[in-house]
Amino acid sequence: MPLERKYARGRHLRQARSLSARIAIYGALFLWTFVCIFPIYWTATTSFKIAPDVMRGHLIPWLDYAPNWKGWRSLGLSPDTILEFSNPRAQFLSRFSNSLICSLSASFLAVVLGSMAAYGLSRFNYRFGFMKNQDISFFFLSQLILPPVVLALPLLVLYKELAMLDTLAGVIFLYTLMVLPIVIWIMRDQFNSVPIELEEAALVDGLSIWGAFFQIVVPVVIPGLVASFILSMVLCWNEYFFASILTSTHATTLPAMVATQTGSQGVGWWTMAALTGASILPLLLVGIFLERFIVKGMAAGAVK
C-alpha cells in the first residue's frame, strides 16, 4: 500500500511539473508571438488613426477609437479615392511595380544562373587554370562576404558611363549578383541529394548532358528552385542600400521611397503607417502562405 501511494504521489508530482512546464512553454511562445506581431499590428492600426488617436495612444480600433481612412486617402488607396486619379497613388504604384519587376527578374536570373552553376559544380570536375571545383565554389560563395559598400561607388560611376544609372536593368543585375551566392549555396545541396544514377540512365538513353539536366534533374529539384527563388525575392524586395545610391527618380524602389518619406518632417503618422504597411504587405502574404518554402530553403543551406 505505501509503495503504491508513493508511486501515485510521484505521478502527481510529475504531472504538476509537466503542467508548469507546459505553461512556461506556451507562455514563452505567446510572449514571442506578441513581440513579433505587435509592430505589424501597430502599423496596421496606426494607418487608420487620425492625430488625436495617435496623441492619446489609442490601441484598439472600434473599441477606443474610430478607424479613419485618412492615411490611406493620402496615398489615394482609400475606398472613396480609389477610382479617382491620384498623384501619390500613381507614384506609389510606380515604385511598387519597380520593386516587383526588380525582385522578380533578379530572382529569376539568379535562379537560372545559380542552379546551372550549382549543378555543374555538383556533377563535374572542372579545371580552369589553377581553379578546381573547390576554388570555383569558394569564388562564388565569397561574393556573399563582399560588403555592398565596396561596390557602391565604383558601380555608380561605371553605371553612369554605361548609361545604366537609374535604370531597372542596372538594379536587376546588381540584385542578381547579391542573391546569386545564396542560390548556388542552396541549389548545390539540392543537386548533391539527387542520385547520380538518374542522369546516367538518361545519358545511356541518348540524352545530352543538357537534355538530362532539363528533362530529368530540374523537375526533381523544383521545390528547391522555388525555395531559393522566394528567398531571393524577399532579399531583393527589402534591399535599400543600392537602391538609394543607384536610383534617383525613374527606377526608385519601394524601400527607397519609404526611407525618403519617413525621413522628411511633417508627414503624418497615418500616412507613414499606410505607406509602410503597403510596402510590407506583399512579403507578409509571402511569409504566411509560402512559409514552408522559406523554411526549406534555409534548412537546405544549414543542415548538411
Binding residues for another protein restricted to 242-281, rule: CB under 8 A: 244-245, 254-255, 258-259, 262-263, 269, 272-273, 276, 279-280
Q: Which of 70, 72, 65, 38 is nearest to 274 (CA)?
A: 72
Query: C-beta of 34: minimal distance to another protein in Å?
Result: 9
Q: Please, which residue, 59 or 226, has the CB nearer to another protein? A: 59
Query: C-beta of 96: minimal distance to another protein in Å?
Result: 13
CB atoms inside a 10 Å sphere around CB 200 = 11
Q: Which amino acid is at 3?
A: L
What DSSP letter does each residue of 238-287 carry, written as one string?
H--HHHHHH-SSSS--HHHHHHHHHHSTT--HHHHHHHHHHHHHHHHHHH
- Asked if 295 is part of the footprint of another protein (rule: CB under 8 A), the reply reads yes
Out of 9, 11, 12, 127, the only residue in the binding site for another protein (CB under 8 A) is 127
Q: Please, which residue, 30 or 67, has the CB nearer to another protein? A: 30
State which of positions 102-121 bind another protein (CB under 8 A): 113-114, 116-117, 119-121
- Asked if 237 is part of the footprint of another protein (rule: CB under 8 A), the reply reads yes
**Cα end-to-end distance, the chain, whole Å:** 54
Q: Which of 239, 260, 235 is nearest to 249 (CA)?
A: 260
- Asked if 228 is part of the footprint of another protein (rule: CB under 8 A), the reply reads no
Query: C-beta of 43: minimal distance to another protein in Å?
Result: 5
State which of positions 54-83 bind another protein (CB under 8 A): 54-55, 57, 59
The binding track of 143-182 with respect to another protein, each residue x by CB under 8 A or -, is: xxxxxxxxxxxxx-xx--xxxx--------xx-xx--x--
User: Is residue 46 within 8 Å of residue 269, measured between CB atoms?
Assistant: yes
User: Is residue 201 within 8 Å of residue 83, measured between CB atoms?
Assistant: no
At 266 the three-state DSSP class reads: coil
Out of 105, 199, 251, 293, the only residue in the binding site for another protein (CB under 8 A) is 199
Q: Which of 291, 281, 172 is nearest to 231 (CA)?
A: 291
Q: Which of 153, 144, 224 is nearest to 178 (CA)?
A: 144
Q: Please, which residue, 86 or 242, has the CB nearer to another protein? A: 242
φ/ψ of 105, rounded to 5, equals -75, -35
- Asked if 187 is part of the footprint of another protein (rule: CB under 8 A), the reply reads no
Q: Which amino acid is at 196?
A: I
- Asked if 207 is part of the footprint of another protein (rule: CB under 8 A), the reply reads no
Segment contacting another protein (CB under 8 A): 24-32, 60-68, 69-77, 79-87? 24-32
Q: Please, which residue, 3 or 35, has the CB nearer to another protein? A: 35
Q: Please, which residue, 10 or 39, has the CB nearer to another protein? A: 39
* Grid coordinates belonging to 85: 486619379
Q: How far is CA 207 from CA 76, 116, 191, 300, in A?
A: 56, 17, 19, 29
